[in-house]
């Protein structure tokens, strides 16, 4: 069963980067864009499991650090013509705090 979990404050995550939160057996990468949008994705590239949290954030996308697959932060899907998808998790912010609906917590 999923549960909303506070994972820190927006300013804890530098713009254009991510921090990793462990939920059950899943690592979740919480990203902050240049426009202070927050997204949460499984920290695992659908190609060969690269750590997306170490990728390059640009716009509302992240480029995997291993082989440059580009994924949409909004829905976890690979940008065409590539294929693949990683899980995304709902995010909300309140008073500068980030809450993520983490799996299995």
* Binding residues for ligand FES (CB under 6 A): 45, 47-48, 50, 64, 66-69
In the complex, what is the shortest distance from the CB of residue 50 to ligand FES, in angstroms, rounded to a whole number? Answer: 3
Q: Is 53 helix (H, G, I), strand (E, B) or coil?
A: helix
In the complex, what is the shortest distance from the CB of residue 61 to ligand FES, in angstroms, rounded to a whole number? Answer: 13
Nearer to ligand FES, 9 or 48 (CB): 48
Tokens of 1: 């069963």
Q: Where do the H-state alpha helices sit in the chain?
A: none
In the complex, what is the shortest distance from the CB of residue 67 to ligand FES, in angstroms, rounded to a whole number? Answer: 3
Residue 13 C-beta-side C-alpha neighbours within 13 Å? 29
Tokens of 72: 């949409």
In the complex, what is the shortest distance from the CB of residue 28 to ligand FES, in angstroms, rounded to a whole number? Answer: 17
Nearer to ligand FES, 43 or 89 (CB): 43
**C-beta of residue 92 within 8 angstroms of C-beta of residue 4:** yes
């Amino acid at each position: 069963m999923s549960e909303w979990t506070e994972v820190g404050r927006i300013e804890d995550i530098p713009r254009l980067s991510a921090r990793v939160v462990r939920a059950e057996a899943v690592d979740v990468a919480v990203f902050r864009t240049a426009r202070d949008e927050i997204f949460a994705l499984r920290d695992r590239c659908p190609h060969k499991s690269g750590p997306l949290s170490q990728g390059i954030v640009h716009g509302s996308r992240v480029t995997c650090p291993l082989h440059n697959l580009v994924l949409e932060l909004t829905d976890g899907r690979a940008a065409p013509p590539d294929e693949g998808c990683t899980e995304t998790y709902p995010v909300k912010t309140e008073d500068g705090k980030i809450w993520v609906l983490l799996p299995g917590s």
